[in-house]
Amino acid sequence: MRKARVVVIGGGATGVGILRDLSMRGVDALLVEKCDLVNGASSRYHGLLHSGGRYAVKDQEAAKECIIENQILRKIGKSCVEPTGGMFVRLDIDDPEYETAWVKGCADSGIEAKQISLDEAFAMEPLLSRHAVSAYLVPDAAIDGFRMSWQNVESAKRYGGRCLTYREAVGVLTENGKVTGVTLRNNITGDEETVECEMLVNAAGGWAGKVAKLAGLDVGVQPDKGTLLAFNQRLTSHVVNRLHKSSDGDIFVPHGSITILGTSSMSIPDPEDTSTSREEVENLLAIGEKTFEHLRDCRMLRSFAGSRPLYIPPGGEVGRSASRGFAIVDHKNDGLDGMMTIVGGKFTTYRLMAEKIVDQICAKFKVTTPCRTAEEPLVPEVAPEKKQAARQYFPAYGTDLAATRLGPERFDKVVERLEKDPESRELVCECENVTLAEVEEMAAEFSSFQINDIRRRTRIGMGTCQGNFCALRSAGVFAKYGKTPGAKDTLGRMKEFLQGRWKGIRPVLVGRTLRETEMTRALYELSFHVNGGEA
């Protein structure tokens, strides 16, 4: 039977942050996640590392936390953070008084907001609406949620931390008012197992209420759906925020090769509901096109949604005005010793949240090792000379991206493959520049159960063609290298992968997206006859 001193439930940013912090302080910990990592809000958001500017008027506590954590994450997570800088832009239709309040709020929160001339703003962001009337630079950045989470896990592993994906907590074992273990179901095989533990940390985000119920507890979590749009190109070079009272489609984040526009806010009953509707898409476009007037002529790749876990204390508010702060609940007070829930908060402050709850756990365990998650980088960087030497094997513009995705150990392995086998230099994904060697390496990982798992680690299928070409190729590679039972069901894996793409494409099935989809179907449904049937 597996044992761990602490079992963390939920592989979002908070969960992986807790796993890392516990492991670094020498507490034996296991993280379990019912899907792949960051299946909830930690990847289904706009990938913005807040400077705090967004909260400078409404919630200065949050703003202060953001700017501090922002600076920490830039330092420890160099390969997940792209320091794009941020720009706040007020349009002629926006309230000038809000600008005044915002400037003061930034100053009060310790956020450096530097006003620039409109000429400078237009030079930096050529597509920006000429209705802009004032612009400020702030230290916003883009952050990759997939990568950040895996790197937390990898960091934890170096300290003995463990992580199991596709394991869902389905029962909490207690004895005399104390947690003794947790029952897990393997969501690939359906098998169940019990893990013995002293402490359960419920970091299940939108699902925290559901997990608490396993132990008969009640936690007030309101899943709040945020819908976002991904565009095919970088429309901006900075994170561009509208300088007005926060609304839906008013933040553009240049995220690698694409741009993410978000985010709406809508209370929903079920955190699993990541569907998006045409109406939500229309809303985002209608607001977004105020900042970038050509928006509707830019190719949308897809829409996606995630649910923020808003903590609702009794009598609290719901929606955008609800607190973005976080709460730690020790269920000892509810009569169950050894279970804690952490809920709420935001991606930018995940590390701080982890630190706070781990402080409390360590106090219980009488562990005095201080938190060092703010000092030590998540993963060592790939040495520049290694990158330089490997450039000959990677496609143009591909080496640095591969190095940041892979980290030093895997990078070495991939480079070795590329060196030995020139054929592995082929591009499986030509839109995002992913080599066969990298896909092979990831296909063979313990955590790759579906092509989608490989996708999140490599970015295959996330670019222009949304899987039209790489679906076949990755199914071929996965069947060859995949170690999981389903890897050989090539048609099933391929359809599952394309279906995953379809889910996001469907709500934006208009304009140029329609063109791409007609091609997808002609290739797979018509030419490849993936629906099967008699012939």
Partner 1 sequence: MSDTKIKQIAPEEAAVFTADHCLSCTSCMSSCPVMEATKEYRGPKLVGPAHSRMHFSQEDEEDSLDFCSNCKSCDRACPSGVAVSTLNMLQRGEYYKTHAHSQRDEMLAHGEKMGKLVHSLPLGATCANIGMRIGKALGIFGLFGLAVERDMPSYAASTFKSLYKNISQKKSDKKVVFFPGCFINDNEPSVGEAMVKVMQVNGYEVLLDDKFCCCGSPMVVTGYIDEAKEHADRNVERILYWKNQGVPVVAACTSCSLMLKKEYEELFNEAKMKQAAANVYDLFEFLDILADKGELNTNFQSVSAKLTYHVPCHLKAQGFGVPAASILRDVPGVTVELADAGCCGMSGNYGFKGDKYDISMKIGEKLFSRIKEQAADSVICDCGTCRLQIRHGTQAKACHPVEILAKAY
Partner 2 sequence: MAKTDTIVIGSGLAGLTAAIVSAQKGQNVKLLTYGSGTLSLNSGVIDVLGYDQQHKYVASPRQGIQNLPDNHPYRKIGLQAIADSVSFFLKLTEEQGFPYGGDLDSQLPVPTAVGTLKPTCLAPESLNGSHLVDSHKIVIVTVKGLKDFYGNIIEDNLRKVAALKDKTYELIEFDSGLTGGRDITTLDVARYLDTDAGLAALVALLKPVAQNGVSFVLPQILGTKGDTCHKSLKAQLGSAQVVETTCLPPSVNGLRLQNLLKGAFKQLGGEIVEDCRVLRGIMEGAKCVGVVTQAAARKKSYYATKFILATGGFYSGGLAMREFEKPQETIFGFPVYFVPGEENWSNAELFSDKPQGFALTGIMTDENLRPVDGSGQVVADNVYIVGRNLGGYDFCFEHSGNGVALASAYKAGNM
* Footprint on this chain of partner 2 (rule: CB under 8 A): 277-279, 282, 296-297, 422-423, 426-428, 436, 469, 472-473, 475-476, 479-480, 488, 490-491, 494-495, 498-499, 501-502, 506, 509-511, 514-535
Closer to partner 1 by Cβ: residue 93 or 519: 519
Residue 391 touches which of partner 1, partner 2, none (CB < 5 to 8 A by kind)? partner 1
Minimal distance in Å, beta carbon 309 to partner 1?
32
Closest Cα to residue 110, out of 67, 72, 62? 67
Closer to partner 2 by Cβ: residue 54 or 501: 501
How far apart CA 450 and CA 498 sit, in angstroms, is: 12
Residue 433 touches which of partner 1, partner 2, none (CB < 5 to 8 A by kind)? partner 1
Question: Parallel, antiparallel, or unpaired: how do β-strands 434-435 and 427-429 relate?
Answer: antiparallel
Residue 531 touches which of partner 1, partner 2, none (CB < 5 to 8 A by kind)? partner 2
Residue 535 touches which of partner 1, partner 2, none (CB < 5 to 8 A by kind)? partner 2
Minimal distance in Å, beta carbon 395 to partner 1?
8
How far apart CA 272 and CA 204 sit, in angstroms, is: 12
Place of tokens 């889910």: 503
Question: Parallel, antiparallel, or unpaired: how do β-strands 29-32 and 239-242 relate?
Answer: unpaired
Query: Token digits for 60?
Result: 């200065």
Closer to partner 1 by Cβ: residue 491 or 510: 510
Residue 283 touches which of partner 1, partner 2, none (CB < 5 to 8 A by kind)? none
Residue 229 touches which of partner 2, partner 1, none (CB < 5 to 8 A by kind)? none
Neighbours of 20 (CB within 10 A): 30
Minimal distance in Å, beta carbon 511 to partner 2?
5
Residue 436 touches which of partner 2, partner 1, none (CB < 5 to 8 A by kind)? partner 2
Residue 298 touches which of partner 1, partner 2, none (CB < 5 to 8 A by kind)? partner 1
Rg, Å, the chain Cα set: 23
Query: Site residues (CB under 8 A) for partner 1?
Result: 232-234, 237, 254, 256-258, 294, 297-299, 391, 396-401, 427, 430-431, 433, 463-465, 468-469, 512, 515-516, 519
Question: Parallel, antiparallel, or unpaired: how do β-strands 339-344 and 199-202 relate?
Answer: parallel
Q: What's the chain's length in residues?
A: 535
Closer to partner 1 by Cβ: residue 258 or 329: 258
Closer to partner 1 by Cβ: residue 97 or 297: 297
> 327-335 contacts: CB < 8 A, separation 24 or more?
328/356, 328/357, 328/360, 329/219, 330/360, 331/212, 331/215, 331/217, 334/217, 334/218, 335/177
C-alpha pair distances (Å), 163 with each of 12, 150, 153: 12, 10, 7
Minimal distance in Å, beta carbon 533 to partner 2?
6
Closer to partner 2 by Cβ: residue 230 or 428: 428
Closest Cα to residue 225, out of 195, 183, 282, 263? 263
Residues ≥6 apart with Cβ < 8 Å to 56: 63, 102, 105, 106, 108, 109, 111, 113
How far apart CA 496 and CA 37 sit, in angstroms, is: 18
Minimal distance in Å, beta carbon 261 to partner 2?
17
Closer to partner 2 by Cβ: residue 202 or 424: 424
How far apart CA 203 and CA 103 sit, in angstroms, is: 35
Closer to partner 2 by Cβ: residue 43 or 466: 466
Closer to partner 1 by Cβ: residue 127 or 173: 127
Residues ≥6 apart with Cβ < 8 Å to 420: none
Residue 533 touches which of partner 2, partner 1, none (CB < 5 to 8 A by kind)? partner 2
- Vertex 29 angle, CA 25 and 30, to 5°: 150
Minimal distance in Å, beta carbon 235 to partner 2?
17
Beta strands in 312-379 (DSSP E): 326-330, 339-344
Minimal distance in Å, beta carbon 495 to partner 1?
20
Minimal distance in Å, beta carbon 469 to partner 1?
7
Residue 233 touches which of partner 2, partner 1, none (CB < 5 to 8 A by kind)? partner 1
Dihedral angle of Cα 360, 361, 366, 369, to the nearest 10 degrees: -80
Minimal distance in Å, beta carbon 169 to partner 2?
28
